[in-house]
Amino acid sequence: MELQIEGVGHHYGPVEVLRDINLTVPTGQIVCLVGPSGCGKSTLLRLIGGLERPTRGRVLQLGDPPPDSLNPLTYIFQHFALLPWRTVAGNVRLVLEDHRVARAEMAAIVDDVLARTRLSEFADALPRQLSGGMKQRVAIARALAVRPAIMLMDEPLSALDAQTRELLMDDLVGLWTRQPFTAVYVTHNLAEAVRLGHRIVLLSRRPGRIHRILDIDLPLDQRHAGDPALESRQAELWDLMRDEARAADRELLDG
């Protein structure tokens, strides 16, 4: 399933947050949204996911979701939102319980996504027994359980330390390599964007407009920390957004 964003603009009262966003999210690609603080990245993600309606324009879902998809669009947030009294398997199973899924099929789905996220041996653990990285892997497993057509990821790694973030990026690359998925990924971290994004969309300061789109053709499984080609693209991104980021910080301070 492909996303088509056409002429999207959005206001909160008198404040214009987004202006004239036109963007395609192709099937099987990870599209990263980056830009200065307050530029509307998370707002755009909410509009894509239908949590809010745009003031102008429209978001289209083109094509059919996978035939076994239970939720065409699924979120992964910065905060894990795990129920502390449920085990790892129980937290994953939660998203299936409102669907007409037979008990045996539900168990098979949970087993499959725990295996894909390397959590099988922790199926009976409670969230308090897990590290931050493992909690986020549970959140990813929970999203995968509903077999979404598109994953909407709002800074999913920003609460983690640098080492754990690197490991989770490896996990996401491994998941995509084994079974490509479509995702819109919001991040402040340019290293994350060049590591994970097939396409990087740089938004201007508020009102957020598309300032530049960069395509990175290097296969995901060939991208590694310290790679000169990735560092060059990261530097290019920063050169493009440095002045905008400074101006945005001044506006936030003044505002």
Domain boundaries, the chain: 2-65+150-254, 84-148
Task: Kindly compute the dihedral angle of the four CA atoms of residues 125, 126, 129, 133, in this order, to the nearest 10 degrees.
Answer: 90
**Coil, helix or strand at residue 131:** coil
Low-confidence ranges of the chain (pLDDT < 50): none
pLDDT of residue 164: 87
Q: Are 237 and 190 in contact (CB under 8 A)?
A: yes
Kindly give the pairing relationship between strand 2-12 and strand 56-62.
Answer: antiparallel
pLDDT of residue 224: 85
CATH number of 2-65+150-254: 3.40.50.300
pLDDT of residue 38: 87
Q: Tell how far CA 113 is from the center of its chain.
A: 18
pTM of the shown model: 0.91
Residues 6+ apart with CB under 8 A from 33: 41, 44, 45, 184, 185, 186, 187, 201, 203
Nearest in space to 150 (alpha carbons), one of 77, 49, 68 = 49
What the block records as the tokens of 247 is 């101006």
Q: Tell how far CA 108 is from the center of its chain.
A: 25
pLDDT of residue 101: 87
Q: What is the pLDDT of residues 66-79, one digit of tens each?
A: 788 888 899 998 78
What backbone phi and psi angles, to 5 degrees, belong to 157? -110, 0
Radius of gyration from C-alpha coordinates of the chain: 18
Q: Are 29 and 217 in contact (CB under 8 A)?
A: no
